[in-house]
């Protein structure tokens, strides 16, 4: 079988098994199997696959059909135009989170001089790294409760050459950090227990997804802690979901002078911004 034939068959198969990005999934998995870039598949579309290649690819497609995220199968994921290592210890960087990062970069670029940023619940490190990469005046302190996640974040920071400007600390929310910040970002868990989710989401760490109080508990606690850690003019950006926007807005009302909610490209409420 040739590349083009294999892609067609496997994309159809993945679609029948519930992937809503079946063609892209098939291409990413095949490029990974053949150690090619995705676009090169089209330059070599009539190259035939060996038995060994086919068998390796079938294994990956089978796991994808059962719900494993493509990013875990290929070991990396693109976010904000940058490539991140991912393992099953971290949340897969999600395009929804680009809303928060774009706002963070805009805020950081408006300010003159050194700019101190915190990233709470850093996971793969994608938020901290994208901010540091696109806003060179920033120095970033990132935390997570998961030591395994911090190990992945550390490798991503080194890979992007940002070890001098991003510092990792293990612990609860902002507790391990000293000093005040110009911007505190967080993409913390906000899914309510019992929410029905696709297999590719439930395959990700429970500690990255779920929070008590209908999903709002961790963000609430974060919004209670954050004000004391902001310098003059400091701001908070927290990713959320429409399901928790009401509860989270109440915490923001209680803790800050002002706040607003940014929507994503689909019009969904996505990021809380709060200030004094």
Please report, as ranges, the residues that interact with ligand SAH according to CB under 6 A.
Answer: 91, 93, 97, 120-124, 126-127, 143-146, 149, 172-173, 187-189, 207-208, 218
Nearer to ligand SAH by C-beta: 60 or 91?
91
* SS3 category, 14: helix
Cα separation values, 15 from 4, 84, 229, Å: 17, 26, 47
Supply the minimum distance, in Å, between the C-beta of residue 268 and ligand SAH. 16
Nearer to ligand SAH by C-beta: 57 or 222?
222
Q: Which helix (H) or strand (E) holds 40?
A: helix 40-43
Nearer to ligand SAH by C-beta: 25 or 220?
220
- State the Cα–Cα distance between residues 65 and 60, nearest whole angstrom: 9
Supply the minimum distance, in Å, between the C-beta of residue 234 and ligand SAH. 19
Nearer to ligand SAH by C-beta: 3 or 173?
173
Supply the minimum distance, in Å, between the C-beta of residue 260 and ligand SAH. 20
Of 109, 110, 84, give the one whose Cα is nearest residue 97. 84
Nearer to ligand SAH by C-beta: 57 or 210?
210
CB contact at 8 A, 74 and 141: no
Supply the minimum distance, in Å, between the C-beta of residue 180 and ligand SAH. 19
- State the Cα–Cα distance between residues 73 and 67, nearest whole angstrom: 11
CB contact at 8 A, 28 and 72: no
Nearer to ligand SAH by C-beta: 25 or 239?
239
Supply the minimum distance, in Å, between the C-beta of residue 119 and ligand SAH. 7
Supply the minimum distance, in Å, between the C-beta of residue 198 and ligand SAH. 17
Give DSSP secondary structure letters for 211-224. ETGGGTHHHHHHHH
Supply the minimum distance, in Å, between the C-beta of residue 150 and ligand SAH. 9
Q: Sort 179 into a burial class: Cβ within 10 Å, 0-12 / 13-18 / 19+.
A: exposed
CB contact at 8 A, 115 and 138: yes
132: left (phi over 0), alpha (psi -120 to 50) or beta: alpha
């Amino acid at each position: 079988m040739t590349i083009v034939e294999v892609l067609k068959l496997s994309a159809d198969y993945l679609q029948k098994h519930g992937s809503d990005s079946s063609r892209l999934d098939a291409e990413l998995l095949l490029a990974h199997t053949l150690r090619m870039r995705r676009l090169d598949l089209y330059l070599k579309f009539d190259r035939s696959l060996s038995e060994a290649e086919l068998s390796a690819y079938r294994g990956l497609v089978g796991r994808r059909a059962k719900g494993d995220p493509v990013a875990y199968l290929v070991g990396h994921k693109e976010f904000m135009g940058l490539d991140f290592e991912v393992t099953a210890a971290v949340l897969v960087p999600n395009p929804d989170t680009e809303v928060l990062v774009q706002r963070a970069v805009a805020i950081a670029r408006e300010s003159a001089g050194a700019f101190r940023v915190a990233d709470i619940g850093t996971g793969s490190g994608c938020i901290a790294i994208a901010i540091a990469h696109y806003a060179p005046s920033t120095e970033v302190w990132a935390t997570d409760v998961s030591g395994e996640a911090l190990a992945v974040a550390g490798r991503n920071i080194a890979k992007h050459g940002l070890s001098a400007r991003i510092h990792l600390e293990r612990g609860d929310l902002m507790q391990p950090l000293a000093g005040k910040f110009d911007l505190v970002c967080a993409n913390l868990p906000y899914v309510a227990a019992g929410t029905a989710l696709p297999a590719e989401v439930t395959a990700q760490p429970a500690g990255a997804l779920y929070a008590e109080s209908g999903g709002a508990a961790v963000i609430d606690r974060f919004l209670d802690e954050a004000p004391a850690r902001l310098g003059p003019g400091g701001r908070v950006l927290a990713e959320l979901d429409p399901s928790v926007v009401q509860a989270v807005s109440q915490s923001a009302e209680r803790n800050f002078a002002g706040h607003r909610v940014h929507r994503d490209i689909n019009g969904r409420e996505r990021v809380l911004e709060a200030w004094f």
